[in-house]
Amino acid sequence: MTQVSVTVDGVVYTDEVEARTLLVHYLRERLGKVGTVVGCDTSNCGSCTVLLGGMSVKSCSVLAVQANGSEVTTIEGLAAADGTLHPVQQAFYDSHALQCGFCTPGMVMASCDLLAENPNPSEQEVREGIEGNLCRCTGYQNIVKAIQAAGRAMSGTATSSTATSNTEAVRA
């Protein structure tokens, strides 16, 4: 057993873990952070993506002990304290970028990282940027649209269509 201390969604946790414990299992089974999910056992699907020190990682390919001393942000900690959705979450909602929603936590976290690196990505840049995140439901088209819209919203270049969508969000 090894002691780890990790800040997850703003809360500091200190636990004894087996050295082999994956970060995703630590999050889900020890911390109850079940918003982050597991979709594969070969690090292909991206469902488990979280931000580790601000960068997206597949939490199934990181050991809990490797996260020692780091800050982790999961889908559960992304919205503001008052419940206001993060612009990426809002854009996913507006663009109908989720169906079953299983890929969504990972897809949203990967998108945050993508937009941090490239606030205004082209369609092709988005498609390549989320290559490591599989979605079986949406055919990706609305996810691509959402990420581009979120990029515009975050860099203050939101178009009128996003404005309309926000009106809809208030109504919904």
Partner 1 sequence: MTAVDDRATAASSADGGPRMEVGNARRRKEDAHLLTGRTTWTDNMTLPGMLHLAILRSPMAHAKITRIDASEAKSRPGVIAVFTGQDFAETQGDIPCAWPVTADMVNPGHPSLAVTQVNHVGEAVAVIVARDKAAAQDALEAVDIDYEQLPAVLDMEAALAEGADLVHPNTTSNKSYTWVFESGAAGTGQPIDDVLNAAEVTLKRRFIQQRLIPAFMEPRSTVVQPVGEGFTMWSSTQVPHILRTMLALTVGVPEHKVRVIAPDVGGGFGGKLQVTPEEVICALVARKLGKSVKYTESRSESVMSAHHGRDQIQDITITARRDGTVTGLDVHLLANMGAYLRLVSPGIPVLGAFMFNSIYKFDAYRFTCDGVFTTKTPTDAYRGAGRPEATFAIERIMDELAAELDMDPMELRRKNWIRHEEFPFTTVSGMTYDSGNYEAATDKALSLLGWDELIAEQARRRASKDPVQLGLGISTFTEMCGLAPSRVLGALSYVAGGWENAAIRVLATGKVEVITGVSGHGQGHETAWSQIVADQLGVPFEDIEVIHGDTQSAPKGMDTYGSRSLVVGGIAVVKAAEKVVEKARAIAAHMLEANPDDLDFAGGNFSVKGSPGNSKSIQDVAFATFTAHDLPDGIEPSIDSDATFDPANFSFPHGTHLCAIEVDTETGRATIRKYVCVDDIGEVINPLIVEGQVHGGLAQGIAQALYEEAVYDAEGNLTTGSFVDYLVPSAADLPSFITDRTVSASTTNPLGVKGVGEAGTIASTPAVVNAVVNALRPYGVNDIQMPCTPERIWRALSEGAEKSSPAAAGTVAHGGASTSSSDGSDAAEGGRL
Contacting residues toward ligand FES, per CB under 6 A? 38-40, 43-48, 58, 60, 98-104, 135-138
Those residues whose C-beta lies under 8 Å from the C-beta of residue 38, and which sit 6 or more positions away, are 24, 28, 47, 48, 60
Q: Please, which residue, 58 or 152, has the CB nearer to ligand FES?
A: 58
- Binding-site partner at residue 141 among ligand FES, partner 1, none, CB < 5 to 8 Å by type: partner 1
**Amino acid found at 161:** S
**Amino acid found at 24:** V
Nearest approach in angstroms of CB 156 to ligand FES is: 29
Q: Please, which residue, 69 or 164, has the CB nearer to partner 1?
A: 164
Nearest approach in angstroms of CB 98 to ligand FES is: 5
Instruction: Name the β-bridge partners of 7.
Output: 12, 71
Chosen residue from 67, 103, 112, 115 binding partner 1 by CB under 8 A? 103
Distances (CA, A) of 19 to 43, 91, 103: 19, 38, 27
Q: Please, which residue, 69 or 120, has the CB nearer to partner 1?
A: 120
Chosen residue from 8, 17, 36, 115 binding partner 1 by CB under 8 A? 36
Q: At what angle do helices 87-94 and 141-154 cross, to 10 degrees?
A: 140
Nearest approach in angstroms of CB 139 to partner 1 is: 3
Q: Please, which residue, 78 or 135, has the CB nearer to ligand FES?
A: 135
Q: How many helices (H) and strands (E) does the chain have?
A: 6, 5
Q: Check residue 148 for interaction with partner 1 (CB under 8 A).
A: no
d(CA 116, CA 141): 21
